[in-house]
């Protein structure tokens, strides 16, 4: 299980939200460029970058973010405001390693169907897609966690798998930003439900003990860690040591 450091960006600043609440923001005194370089210098191969403006339909950050991402050698897992097939293709063709799709995949019934057709050409786009499932009490949330979907969690997973999308980023909203531990029960339920999904956990990680608890599930592909790094609960050196032991190559 690989640890992926997270960088959330709001108004061009590195921040963390508590339970997705844009009115409960912690801003950190470090730039996006500095943080990417910090991770890269310490051996991290993959970073998770979320445009929080984009997640709620404000695309004022995108040019700033894309300019920085194009200039880094870091593999980037990117999300926030990916609203069209054209944007997915643009990002992957530009070198983004993984593109996270969330709101559009939930609200537009044809979006995933159309995206699935892009896997028939020379570029296997589905291999670079991460399906975001942000969950609160087993209800899927979207639009920056402001809206609730009527689609049942397991039904949505079945639909995605049937279309060839197998990698999921699951955020347990009840845990996010609280440093109170990860959503182990939710992740176990998802892993037990489907033996073929590649699951990335997110939310609530507060210590290396939490990392070990998730790793003990046996089939977690990776875990996103954000606030615990900024609050000095987990050090970059600990992440580097852990990732070197995983022997997972992205």
Each residue of 54-111: pLDDT tens digit?
888 888 888 899 889 888 999 999 998 888 999 898 888 888 999 999 888 988 989 9
For residue 90, the model assigns a pLDDT of 85
Residues contacting residue 234 through CB under 8 Å, at least 6 positions apart: 205, 207, 208, 211, 225, 228
CA angle 217, 139, 132 (to 5 degrees): 65
Please list, residue by residue across 126-149, b when 16 or more beta carbons sit within 10 angstroms of its beta carbon and e when fewer do.
bebbbbbbbbbeeebbbbbbeeeb
- Judged on CB neighbours under 10 Å (0-12, 13-18, 19+), 33 is exposed
Strands (DSSP E) found in the chain = 2-10, 13-18, 21-27, 46-51, 75-79, 98-101, 129-136, 139-142, 147-152, 167-172, 198-202, 220-225
Active site (catalytic) residues = 8, 134
Q: Mean pLDDT score of the chain, rounded to an integer?
A: 88
Q: How confident is the model at residue 179 (pLDDT cuts 50, 70, 90)?
A: low
Count, in order, helices (H) and strands (E) of the chain.
11, 12
Residue 89: alpha-carbon gap to chain centroid: 18
For residue 183, the model assigns a pLDDT of 83
CA distance 7 to 10: 10
pTM for the whole structure? 0.89
At residue 64, the 3 state secondary structure works out as helix
The residue among 18 and 235 whose pLDDT is bigger is 235
Residue 138 CA: distances (Å) to CA of 25, 151, 204? 24, 10, 16
Residue 196: count of CB within 10 angstroms of its CB: 7
Residues comprising the chain, all counted: 250
For residue 100, the model assigns a pLDDT of 96
For residue 59, the model assigns a pLDDT of 86
pLDDT digits (tens, 9 = 90+) for 220-247: 999 999 889 988 999 999 999 999 888 6
For residue 22, the model assigns a pLDDT of 87
Residue 116 CA: distances (Å) to CA of 38, 87, 164, 182? 36, 15, 7, 31
Please list, residue by residue across 207-229, b when 16 or more beta carbons sit within 10 angstroms of its beta carbon and e when fewer do.
ebebbeebbebebbbbbbbbbbb
């Amino acid at each position: 299980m690989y640890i992926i450091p997270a960088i959330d960006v709001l108004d061009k600043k590195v921040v963390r939200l508590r339970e997705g609440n844009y009115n409960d923001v912690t801003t950190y005194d470090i730039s996006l460029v500095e943080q990417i370089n910090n991770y890269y210098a310490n051996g991290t191969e993959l970073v998770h970058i979320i445009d929080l403006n984009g997640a709620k339909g404000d695309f004022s950050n995108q040019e700033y973010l894309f300019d920085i991402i194009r200039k880094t050698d870091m593999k980037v897992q990117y999300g926030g405001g990916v609203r069209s097939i054209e944007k997915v293709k643009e990002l992957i063709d530009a070198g983004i390693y993984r593109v996270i799709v969330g709101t559009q995949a939930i609200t537009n019934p044809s979006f995933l169907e159309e995206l699935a057709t892009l896997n028939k050409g020379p570029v296997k786009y589905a291999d670079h897609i991460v399906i975001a499932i942000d969950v609160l009490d087993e209800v899927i949330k979207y639009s920056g966690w402001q809206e609730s979907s009527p689609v049942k969690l397991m039904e949505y997973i079945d639909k995605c798998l049937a279309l060839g999308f197998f990698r999921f980023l699951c955020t347990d909203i009840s845990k996010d930003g609280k440093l109170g531990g990860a959503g182990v029960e939710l992740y176990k339920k998802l892993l037990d439900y489907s033996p073929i999904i590649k699951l990335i956990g997110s939310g609530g990680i507060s210590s290396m003990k939490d990392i070990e608890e998730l790793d003990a599930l046996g089939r977690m592909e990776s875990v996103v860690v954000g606030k615990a790094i900024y609050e000095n609960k987990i050090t970059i050196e600990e992440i580097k040591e852990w990732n070197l032991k995983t022997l997972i190559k992205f």
